[in-house]
Structure 1
Amino acid sequence: MLTIITFILILGLLVFIHEMGHFLFAKRAGILVREFALGFGPKIFAKKVGETLYAIRILPLGGYVRMAGEDPEIHELKTGVSVFLHLNADQEVTEVYLYEPNETSNDEVQIGRILHYDFEHELTIQIENSQEQKRQFSMNPKATIHYSPKNVIQIAPWDRQFGSKKVGQKAMTIFAGPLFNIILTAFLFTLFVAVAPIQDLTIGKVLPNLPAKQVGIQAGDKIVAIDHSRIWTNDSLHYYLLSTKGKSFDITVERAGKNLTFPIQPEKTKENRYMIGVAFAQSKVGPVQAVIEGGKLTVDWTRIMLDSLGKLVTGDMSIKSLGGPVEMGRSTGEVAKAGLQPLIKWTALLSLNLGIINLLPIPALDGSRLLFIGLEAIRGKPINPNKESLVHFVGFAFLMMLMLIVTYNDIVRIFFA
């Protein structure tokens, strides 16, 4: 139970930060945000504050910010339908009821059947009353339509819709979600470094009769590159050792202000791991250095994750190696038992993973939406909203299928391996 609670809390934090990025930049651009939701499915909590409904939904596997105009704005009002219009002191319609409201109001009320309306550009509604008199009223920009007591929608004038904004504003609103996850990652890595001593790439000890000793690497050397590619943390070294599978590579160390490069071949252990035979020094860092080290960890792990994605695309990594919600939950529980520092690092990695995955140009993800915005910038006009919505719908179905596959892999790995 503790594992499940820990996983839900961590996932909730990551989703909240991600959606908060979208939310804040949408508000900054003047976009009407209809709903800020954590989770999917039926609501277990909902409260409307101002223009936005804040909701927690039953399935804690994501979330969303629903902005006006992301999908085509469709109103269920039809000409000929009888409505009750509430007007304010400026003779603007503030509320449109499709039924006779029970509550009393001091507002002026006009009753009639709809002849015409435009809630996006003209902001008008025209009705014909029982005396067959035609009247046209201006709509308040924040007017609401009451389809039923539980179905109340605020109108979205064109200048409050996502599609009305400049390309840069739209791109930043979408990019802000993954960006906030990456910022959270850097913060958590900084916290991880600050709470306890860490290992940097300075070698504290060279073990005898192992590759590092044999090629001439010494205690006090600092590893700076592998195969002439700069690395910043020992996490990159561990990943490289795992991915090379025993093949030789060049390792560059800094010694007395000079860079020295040695060819080295890892040695396989009885536990089927690869090692070169070094132990890293541990050190406690101050606040400024913690920020620097946190940034280094963010850069190195971004590179590691992008490399892993590349191997997945080329077939060098099997889809069976992917972990889904079940595996993530199980791993979170194990990490939580190891202590606060490992849990902070694990949360940082999950946040970075969420940010990077969302930037992939896969339909229904932020990366695909950014791609459509990029095409809009090139073409000088947006893609047909209905066609874009169809692409994202198909992409969402693909993601759900992928989720089922990785969840199946999780179950087989955990219970039948």
Structure 2
Amino acid sequence: MDFLNLLSLPMTTAVFYAIPFLIALLIIVFIHELGHFLVARWCGVSVDAFSIGFGKEIVGWHDKHGTRWKLAWIPLGGYVKFKGDANAASLPDAETVEKAKGDPGNFHGKPVWQRAAVVAAGPVANFILAIFIFSAAFMAVGVPVMEPRVDEVLPGSAAEQAGILQGDVVVSIDGEEIESFAELQQAIFTRAEEELAVVVERNGERIGLTVVPHLKEEPDNFGGKIRIGLIGVKHSPDGGVRFERLGFGEAVEKGVERTWFIVETTFRYLGKLFTGRESTDQLGGPIAMAKAAGDAASNGLFQFVSVVAFLSVSIGLINLFPIPMLDGGHLVYYAIEAVRGKPLGENAQEWGFRIGFSLVIMLMVVGTWNDLVRVATVWFGG
């Protein structure tokens, strides 16, 4: 392979991963901002601009309400600019709020509950998108169903130590009913080194056992590592997997469950991160997200939309973090305003914004650094 061909590989790979990632991101950002936009209109707020992307405008138009809809050059996000917004932070002082009350279309003159509803609508829209995608997939393709039967117990495994035997069928874990082998795996995946109460069915009899999943580090698809819980049981491929299509009600319920599982898993990881039981090397940045989207797209539409749903939940959840600059930070300010009867002072809000901005940049730097380390590992070995 000559040098020019060698140079072309990373660029080809980058394009392959970038396009699906940008498509996924545009969908997620559009739905997020549409949530803000629709609730704002419902509350009578005038919207000056609806932008997908930042920076210089590529194309745009005005609707009959005077809103400028536009697509900008930097596609890593978007925003909705309401009447009365002076900057990206959208944090006015008490004087600005009082002046805005005389203008029915001014966002900052609206009651605090309406402003909170507008802000919360973005992340909520992300969750609704994920539920919609999962539900549609469960109706169109179905859910894989594999009996939670233990066909093999690995020697020295947590399952063997707990007394689980070949042929056992797992009925419940920590009181949660288990209906498939996939649910069994999900129940222990994030529960490494935790004591779990397991009920198995053996020869027609139900037996209660206690199992502690072993912690194991597994390589991901991009040179990094993930930490998972394993109990050391296998299901025979001969058992087969069937896809069971669900009706509308069941599909929506399952979509809500899948969405909540992502939220719960994220909080469990963050809890372990703050207690020192996890490290930041599992955090990913835009390269990791692009890799996930590209891999999913190569495996078909179903896998791609599933990743879109996963990223939508993640972005919605991150936006709800109580960090000034994010939607969650605004909601904290509105909660304080509701209690005090007036907003925080301009200096307090400005400092909060600066701290929040620093935290977001720090998270982006850590995630991007992890991405670059993984890229270097793949390209140069080690």
Q: Could you state the TM-score of these two structures normalised by the residue count of structure 1?
A: 0.70
- SS at 2:271's partner residue? helix
Q: Percent identity?
A: 30
Structural mapping, 1:18-57, within 5 Å: 18-49=32-63, 50-57=65-72
CA distance in 1, matches of 2:330, 2:115: 9
- Secondary structure in 1 aligned to 2:256? helix
Using the TM superposition, name which of 64-73 and 25-34 deviates more.
Answer: 64-73
SS at match of 1:263: strand
* Pair 1:264-2:211 in alignment: yes
Q: Distance in 1 between matches of 2:144 and 2:265?
A: 18
- Determine the structure 2 residue equivalent to 1:152: none
Paired residues for 1:8-407 under 5 Å: 8-49=22-63, 50-71=65-86, 158-200=103-145, 202-203=147-148, 205-210=149-154, 211=159, 214-216=163-165, 218=167, 221=169, 223-226=171-174, 228=175, 237-245=184-192, 249-252=196-199, 261-266=208-213, 274-279=230-235, 282-288=242-248, 289-385=250-346, 387-407=348-368
Q: Which residue of 1 aligns with 2:6?
A: none
CA contact (8 A) 2:97 2:108 kept: no
Q: Which amino acid aligns with 1:215?
A: I
Using the alignment, how far apart are the partners of 1:257 and 1:295 within structure 2? Answer: 33
CA contact (8 A) 1:199 1:282 kept: yes
Q: Distance in 2 between matches of 1:283 and 1:310?
A: 34
Q: Residues 39-63 of structure 1: CA distance to partner in whole angstroms, max 9, x if unpaired? A: 1222222222232111211111111
Query: Is the 8 Å Cα contact of residues 173 and 196 (structure 2) preserved in structure 1?
Result: no
Q: Which has the larger radius of gyration?
A: 1
More strand by share: 1
Give CA-to-partner distance per residue, 1:148-167, whole Å, 9 cap, x none.
xxxxxxx9963221221112
User: Is the contact made by 1:198 and 1:284 (CA closer than 8 Å) also made in structure 2?
Assistant: yes
> What secondary structure, in the 3-state scheme, does the structure 1 residue paired with 2:173 have?
strand
- Distance 1:374-1:233 versus aligned 2 partners, 3 A rule: farther
Shift in alpha-carbon separation, 1:353–1:267, aligned structure 2, 3 A = closer
Tell whether the 8 Å contact from 1:335 to 1:346 is kept in structure 2 after alignment.
yes
Which ranges of structure 2 fall in alignment gaps of 5 or more residues?
A: 1-14, 89-95, 220-227
Does the aligned pair in 1 maintain the 2:101–2:109 contact within 8 Å?
Answer: no
Q: Which amino acid aligns with 1:208?
A: E
| Paired letter, 1:284 | E
Q: Give the Cα separation in 1 of the matches to 2:351 and 2:216.
A: 52
Preserved contact between residue 51 and residue 70 of structure 2 (Cα < 8 Å): yes
State whether residues 54 and 72 of structure 2, in contact with CA within 8 Å, keep that contact through their aligned partners in structure 1.
yes
Counterparts of 2:270 and 2:328, CA distance in 1 = 15
Which has the higher mean CA deviation after the structures are superposed, 188-197 or 346-355? 188-197
Contact between 1:34 and 1:51, CA under 8 Å: does it hold in 2? yes
Maintained 8 Å contact 2:119/2:331: yes
Instruction: Provide Cα deviations, 1:186-221, integer angstroms capped at 9, x if missing partner.
Output: 111112323334235742x421344379525756x4
Q: CA offsets per residue over residues 241-291 of structure 1, 9 Å max, x none?
A: 344446653224589999753223557899797344243853412323222
Q: 1:61 to 1:268 in 2, by over 3 A?
A: closer
Q: Which moved more, 1:308-317 or 1:359-368?
A: 308-317
Native 8 Å contact 1:3 1:333 kept in 2: yes
Say what the alpha-carbon RMSD is for the aligned residues: 3.5
Superposed displacement of residue 8, structure 1: 0.2
SS at match of 2:104: helix
Q: Measure, in 2, the Cα distance between the counterparts of 1:327 and 1:206.
A: 34
Q: Distance in 2 between matches of 1:268 and 1:162?
A: 50
Shift in Å at residue 237 of structure 1? 4.3
Checking the alignment, whether the CA contact within 8 Å between 2:173 and 2:187 is kept in structure 1 is no
Structure 1, 42-51 or 320-329: larger mean CA deviation = 42-51
Distance 1:334 1:309 in 2: 26
Query: What is the TM-score with the length of structure 2 in the denominator?
Result: 0.76
**What is the CA-CA distance between 1:223 and the residue it aligns to?**
4.0
SS at match of 1:301: helix
Secondary structure of the corresponding residue to residue 152 of structure 2: coil
